[in-house]
Amino acid sequence: MKPVELKKDIFWVGAIDWAVRDFHGYETPRGTTYNNYLILDEEVTLVDTVKYDFSEITIKHIQELVDPAKIKHVIINHIENDHATGIDKIMDLSPDATIHITDRGKKGLDRFFDTSRWKFHIVKSGDTLKIGKNTLLFLETPMVHWPDSMMTYCQEAGVLFSQDGFGQHLASTARFDDQFSACVSSVVLEDAVVDYYANILMPFGQLILDKIADLQKLGIKPEIIAPDHGVIWRSQAAKVIESYVDMAQGKADLRAIIVYDTMWKSTEMMSVPISEGISSEGVDCRILKLRATPMNVIIKEFWKARGTLFGTPTLNNIMYPSVAECLTHLRGLRPKNRLAGAFGSYGWGGGAVKEAYEIFDKMGLEKFDSGLQVIYKPSSEDEEKCYRFGQEFAKRLKEYHTRF
């Protein structure tokens, strides 16, 4: 791939990671990209670096445009390893550059590198940097999604360098949203946006709304949004902001999912009549088996649906490990405005369903009922109970959904 110009004299110089399938535990079947950008102004400016393994690729891209020794400014919007670990090699070639970074970013970078070799300029929200005909405006976005995070807006060009915000894990030769949608599908792109938001940004909804409001107060309506992953938004920049507002407000579909695991198929057998009961009330229901479905897909589907039922067998008086793992992931993501319930089979003592409800309490989820348990294997009478459990869940879900 060659550098790609996104606006006059502003180039994508990043790297495509076609092979990554495990992104710190997040399954990435479509790979990802590490985007960074070079601005060829009077003072040459690099916005972000890339993951260390891809340093040579971004350096090659930069060298196709300019001698890296001429880089005067390096903006570090976010210090997570996938964006900042390339800095060592870049700075070796650009020894005169000043690194512009937030105070927390500098303190974090100090933990990863010998930063005494480099020049720094600490920036905060509202600071600007004139690099020639372009002016860069810095906007701190702490905890979206690391304490150091910020975005950089190129005022004259109307380009928002948004670091992880508005990103997607999509490896593609298409660099722009319209190119991707024309060749693949806008459905795939929308799904990738939701997947990324649900798995990375779900806990930060209110902060995201605040930051979008800050952009609006400053009169910033980016013509182009250039994230650090996936395609660059040039035809749907306004639309992706709107979709972030929706997601940050906790928007969900009136649908249910059943997330379950099973030892000897009893809990699995319960899930089918439960789903039929849900469906009988006109609510769509999808069944997802843990251990057969990537965790990030479970999280995305949980996020898209207003209600979820968790099916868990009891193992040694507690939840089945894969269900506990799923709830641990979700608990960290702090979902809001979702209805949850649980069911499962047990042999003698039980305990899994009760434990699931204790976790719902800790998560602050709206609870449905106190759960449904079946001993050993569901009888036809139990299957009828499961059906009614599903029906009642759907009725409650429809009522709950009207609150939003």
For residue 366, the tally of other CB atoms under 10 A from its CB is 17
Which of 80-115 are b and which e, b meaning 16 or more Cβ less than 10 Å from the residue's Cβ? bebbbbbbbbbbeebeebbbbbbebbbebbeeebeb
Applying CB under 6 A, does 169 fall inside the site for ligand FEO?
A: no
Site for ligand FEO, residues 125 to 154, rule: CB under 6 A: 145-146
Q: What is the C-alpha separation between 14 and 55, in angstroms, rounded?
A: 9
Tell me the residue number closest to ligand FEO, measured at CB. Answer: 80
Examine residue 83 and tell whether it contacts ligand FEO (CB under 6 A).
yes
Active site residue 164: yes
Residue type, 50: V
DSSP 85: T
Locate 174 and state its tokens: 């298409």
Using CA atoms, how far apart are residues 39 and 10, in angstroms rounded to an integer? 5
Q: Does 51 bind ligand FEO (CB under 6 A)?
A: no
**If binding means CB under 6 A, how many residues of this protein chain bind ligand FEO?**
9
Q: H or E segment at 16?
A: strand 15-17
61 catalytic per annotation: no
Answer yes or no whether residue 164 interacts with ligand FEO by CB under 6 A. Answer: yes
Residue closer to ligand FEO (CB basis): 7 or 169: 169
Angle at 285 between CA 280 and CA 288, to 5 degrees: 140
The catalytic position among 22, 24, 361, 381 is 24
Cα separation, 291 vs 172, in Å, equals: 28
255: left (phi over 0), alpha (psi -120 to 50) or beta: beta
Residue 234 binds to ligand FEO (criterion: CB under 6 A): no
Angle at 342 between CA 337 and CA 347, to 5 degrees: 165
SS3 211: helix
Closer to ligand FEO by Cβ: residue 166 or 303:
166
Q: Is 73 a catalytic residue?
A: no
**Alpha carbon distance 381, 243 (integer Å):** 45
One residue of 5, 27, 43, 80 binding ligand FEO per CB under 6 A:
80
178 lies in the binding site for ligand FEO (CB under 6 A): no
228 scored as a contact of ligand FEO (CB under 6 A): yes
CB of 332 to ligand FEO, least distance (A): 15
Q: Does residue 304 bind ligand FEO (CB under 6 A)?
A: no
Assess whether the previous peptide bond of 145 is cis (omega < 30° from 0): yes
Q: Which of 164, 177, 268, 382 is catalytic?
A: 164
User: What backbone phi and psi angles, to 5 degrees, belong to 305?
Assistant: -95, 145
* 261 carries an active-site annotation: no
DSSP state for residue 232 in the 8-state scheme: B
Selected range binding ligand FEO among 74-82, 113-121, 289-297, 331-339, rule: CB under 6 A: 74-82
Kindly tell me which of 164 and 195 has the beta carbon lying closer to ligand FEO: 164
* 48 sits near ligand FEO (criterion: CB under 6 A): no
Q: Taking contact as CB under 6 A, which single stretch among the options 76-84, 90-98, 203-211, 255-263 is the one that binds ligand FEO?
A: 76-84
Interface stretch with ligand FEO, choices 79-87, 256-264, 289-297, 369-377 (CB under 6 A):
79-87
Q: Would you call 355 a catalytic residue per the annotation?
A: no
The answer to whether residue 229 forms part of the interface with ligand FEO (CB under 6 A) is: yes
Extended strands (E) in 331-384: 339-346, 366-367, 372-375
| Minimum gap (Å) between residue 83 Cβ and ligand FEO | 6
Q: Is 82 annotated in the active site?
A: yes
Task: Tell me which residues are annotated as active site.
Answer: 24, 78, 80, 82, 145, 164, 196, 229
Binding residues for ligand FEO, per CB under 6 A? 78, 80, 82-83, 145-146, 164, 228-229
